[in-house]
Amino acid sequence: MCGRSKRLFAAGTAALLLLAAAAAAHGARIKDIAFMEGVRPNQLTGYGLVVGLTGTGDKTSARYTMQSLANLFKKMGIKIDPTLIRVKNTAAVLVTAELPPFARPGSTVDVVVSSLGDATSLEGGTLIITPLKGPDGFVYATAQGPISLGGFSAGGTGAKVRKNHQTVGKITGGAIIEKEVVVDFSEKEELLLTLRRPDFSTARNVVQSINKSLGRPVASALDAGGVRIE
């Protein structure tokens, strides 16, 4: 690592600390009003199956669900014609999660599970292991676990009242990170902070806060929305 890269790496490390602690304007922390280029959450998605539903799953008209179930059986060594499957306790779902910056393999994140077919409720269901991919097509996490719908369900032998979205649920800590997004500051010639709400005064205050904290003029405002650290 050359001298310039070392200085930039040190400045970047200090800037990250400042993002978490320093106040730029009106007592706001820099991390609340700006983010560093390359340091952001990444969206993950995956297709999966929810099982264990009490007759509220997809109907046989959702053929992709039956095909997915047949594929699951095949992986387990059981061959079955998907057209012969008649179940109502399974639902095809889209699984989404947000991969935070610097998340390490083994850590967990929450996932949201949304019905894709004609299931009427995901209540009581369990998501079976589902790979979650980023926009680049790589698997960054795997999700699995019982689904929580939130809200409430009340009623006796007569009418039953539900107050929630029956076809959308959540699994707290349901995804395990398998791969991290690497951000290598040592290879960068400069770092860029982007303001969440562009404003010349805020950009100037951020520059002053960083330079004052580091004791040297390493930051400069590019425009109302960006601050460069060299």
pLDDT digits (tens, 9 = 90+) for 6-55: 555 555 555 554 554 455 545 677 777 888 777 788 999 999 999 999 99
The span from the CA of 4 to the CA of 162, in Å, is 61
- For residue 21, what pLDDT is reported? 45
Taking the C-alpha atoms of 69, 71, 72 and 73 in order, what is their torsion angle to the nearest 10 degrees? Answer: 90
Q: What is the rounded distance in angstroms from the CA atom of residue 137 to the CA atom of residue 7?
A: 34
| pLDDT score for 6 | 54
pLDDT tens-digit map of 52-77: 999 999 987 788 899 998 999 999 99
Q: Where are the domains of the chain?
A: 3-39+183-229, 42-177
Q: What is the pLDDT of residues 165-217, one digit of tens each?
A: 799 999 999 999 999 887 766 666 778 888 888 989 888 888 888 888 778 88
Q: What global pTM score does this model have?
A: 0.74
Q: What is the mean pLDDT of residues 82-89?
A: 86
Which residues are CB-neighbours of 65 under 8 A, at least 6 positions away?
A: 49, 57, 58, 90, 91, 92, 117
Q: For domain 3-39+183-229, which CATH number applies: 3.30.980, 3.30.70, 3.30.420, 3.30.43? A: 3.30.980
Nearest CA to 167 out of 58, 77, 80, 83 is that of 58
Beta strand pairing call for 91-99 and 28-29: unpaired
- Is the Cβ–Cβ distance between 190 and 182 less than 8 Å? no
